[in-house]
Structure 1
Amino acid sequence: MSLLRVGQVLRGKLGQYIVTKQIQETVWFAKNQIKDTVVVKGVEDHPRVANERDVLKRFQNRTPCLRPLIDEIHDPSRPEIIVLRHLDDHLLNSSMTKPLSRAELKYVAKHVLEALNVLHENGYVHTDVKPDNVFVNYQEGEIRFSQVQLGDLGSTCPSSSEIATQGIPIGAPIWTSPEVIMETPWNTASDIWSFGSMLISLIYGGNFNLFRPRTVPYGHEEYNLEVLKQQFRYFGPFPIKYAEIIGPETAAAIAYIMHEIPRAQLTPFSCTTEREVSRADKEFICKIMMMDWRDRPTAKQLLKDDWFQEER
């Protein structure tokens, strides 16, 4: 049974909302008192909605690049229900409709990095950076986006949390970093890998993902391993120094992958033809997609990269 029903009236601290449509299991559209559409989130017996509320209360006033909390519902008082800003679309739909131009790609990248920088400088990891969690408003002109905001912060957590330090995997495997897939400790650098994965997807357009396994379906017991193989194939090998920060089980997994995909069978992303990906875009992405998380630049460093200054 759905938590909310179409036509239900929700009363918040700042206004009143009428539910108009269910979008996902835990997400609805609603209208406020002046008939503007808003997004309503609620879920029984799970902390993610309260967590998103708390993270947004802390950070949304520091950047316009996070989709903001508008209100909190107090009638009904349980479970936690929040009201978020509605935007026209998300980037997965946008890129499936039409691949992003290079100007649009940089516009999106800058806004997502600015959101990540605010979180990362305070030790928080978004954990789920992907095209359908980046929301946009449209406009006419060279760049079709008037606004870009990173959303869905339900699983955002400090890098010092047990979830991160114990290497508990969060997020969709095809967007997550090698260290997350291998269930080793992860941190803000894992978001940077996901950001890079998203950029690759947006360059190609459609529902493309470089790391999607071609041999097993989602949910298969070897799905994550196949994702890791794809990551290794395009951005490997792991540097020798990676052994400093991994245990025997992880080392064994890496040795298995190296045996399965010898160096001669690697297909480096850097060798992608310029007809597919421009040289400048390849160089920028290859700075990001480092198998050892310690080698990845920070969001702040990426914002200063020459890639953003390059002539369009």
Structure 2
Amino acid sequence: MPSPLRLGQVLRGRLESYTVSKHIQEDVVWLARNLKNETVVVKSVRGHPRIKNERDVLRRFQSRSPYIRPLIDEIQDPAEPTTIVLKYLESDLWDTSVRKSLNRKEIKYVSKRVLDALSVLHEDRYVHTDIKSANIFVNYKKDESEIRSSEVQLGDFGGSYPDDSKWAKSGTAIGAPIWNSPEVIMVTPWNTATDICLIYGGDFHIFRPKDVRHGDETYGLEVLMLQREYFGPFPPKVSVIFNAETLQSIVYLEHLVPPSERRPFRLVAEQEVGKEDKEFILKIMQMDWRDQPTAKELLRDEWFRTE
């Protein structure tokens, strides 16, 4: 499929014109310069509704939280495909944590802002579906501060849908399995509880399979097994929310993970994860989504009021 944009191309939006300056990601994301020579992000793709959906979601929500990366313009010429202009931020949280692990203050600073953005979506029963460090964008402070980020905004809303959409009701998997909740991996209906995020950063992920590559047929199962090892087992009461086939898969999973191989997260040494941090994560990481606190409840948690 040919790229919808090219370097040096002039795009005319509702508000002003932009010149495409750099290709960033596949045939979807570019950098461009406006008439003031300021950098902006341009997203465009042919034959897929993702960009149009992101535009519509941002129109609905961006005025309700300063922690949602905003839509700043929409391209009129060329009219097709749908092309949007977004605010540019210097980096993302994945790159930031690879350079240097986030300290405890930074983790709380970022978590509070992401939860604020999610609480706005969840009020209208919208699910982001792809919460991960690469979709959390940051600007840096100029000084050497304990908290490096001067600004934090959640982005990439192309896969965001309400929980009564056909995607949610059918259990359509959106995003990579390593970031998915158990109910998504098992292809069951999902809702706002699916938006989960972990404290781990850098190039380490607690649910990354060691011996299976992303894209392999069993990759999702391996991720689910690791979730079960750390935060399981599934409580018996899930029998009322999952169908017989899914319950059979859960029984199968229980036999795949013998007690000797289980590594409960609650037993992680405090040298690795402090007691208060561990308690906060355990509140979130529930195998039954009905037990998870909402984003608003988490924002009121004692974890944010202690150092």
Task: Return the TM-score normalized by structure 1.
Answer: 0.96
1:8 aligned residue: 9
Q: 2:76 aligns with which of 74, 77, 81?
A: 74
Q: How well do the aligned residues superpose, as a CA RMSD in angstroms?
A: 0.8
Q: 2:169 aligns with which of 165, 190, 193?
A: 165
1:51 aligned residue: 53
> Do the aligned partners of 2:34 and 2:40 also contact (CA within 8 Å) in 1?
yes
Structure 2 counterpart SS, 1:210: coil
Asked if residue 143 in structure 1 is aligned to residue 147 in structure 2, the reply is: yes
Structure 1 unaligned regions, length at least 5: none
1:97 aligned residue: 99
Q: 2:291 aligns with which of 288, 291, 295?
A: 295
Deviation beyond 2 Å, 4+ runs, structure 1? 262-265
> Do the aligned partners of 1:27 and 1:39 also contact (CA within 8 Å) in 2?
yes
2:203 aligned residue: 207
> Which residue identity does 1:167 align to in structure 2?
G
Report the Cα distance in structure 2 between the residues aligned to 1:234 and 1:214, rounded to whole angstroms: 15
Report the Cα distance in structure 2 between the residues aligned to 1:232 and 1:248, rounded to whole angstroms: 19
Q: 1:281 aligns with which of 277, 280, 288?
A: 277
Q: Where in structure 2 are the equivalents of 1:1-312 lying within 5 Å?
A: 1-25=2-26, 26-139=28-141, 140=143, 141-191=145-195, 194-195=196-197, 197=198, 199=199, 201-202=200-201, 206-310=202-306, 312=307
Once the two structures are superposed, residues 113-157 of structure 1 have per-residue CA deviations (whole angstroms, 9 ceiling, x without a partner) of 000000001110000000000000000222100110000000100
> Do the aligned partners of 2:92 and 2:136 also contact (CA within 8 Å) in 1?
yes
Aligned residues: 303
Report the Cα distance in structure 2 between the residues aligned to 1:243 and 1:210, rounded to whole angstroms: 27
Report the Cα distance in structure 1 between the residues aligned to 2:176 and 2:81, rounded to whole angstroms: 26
Once the two structures are superposed, residues 95-129 of structure 1 have per-residue CA deviations (whole angstroms, 9 ceiling, x without a partner) of 00000010000000000000000000111000000
Once the two structures are superposed, residues 31-67 of structure 1 have per-residue CA deviations (whole angstroms, 9 ceiling, x without a partner) of 0010110000000011110110011011100010000
Report the Cα distance in structure 2 between the residues aligned to 1:309 and 1:47, rounded to whole angstroms: 41
Q: State the identity as a percent.
A: 56
Once the two structures are superposed, residues 256-284 of structure 1 have per-residue CA deviations (whole angstroms, 9 ceiling, x without a partner) of 11001133431011111011111111000
Task: Return the TM-score normalized by structure 2.
Answer: 0.97
> Do the aligned partners of 1:115 and 1:150 also contact (CA within 8 Å) in 2?
yes
> Which residue identity does 1:57 align to in structure 2?
R
> Do the aligned partners of 1:10 and 1:76 also contact (CA within 8 Å) in 2?
yes
Structure 2 unaligned regions, length at least 5: none
Report the Cα distance in structure 2 between the residues aligned to 1:253 and 1:293, rounded to whole angstroms: 17
> Do the aligned partners of 1:88 and 1:136 also contact (CA within 8 Å) in 2?
yes
> Do the aligned partners of 1:237 and 1:263 also contact (CA within 8 Å) in 2?
no
Report the Cα distance in structure 2 between the residues aligned to 1:252 and 1:170, rounded to whole angstroms: 23
Report the Cα distance in structure 2 between the residues aligned to 1:28 and 1:179, rounded to whole angstroms: 34
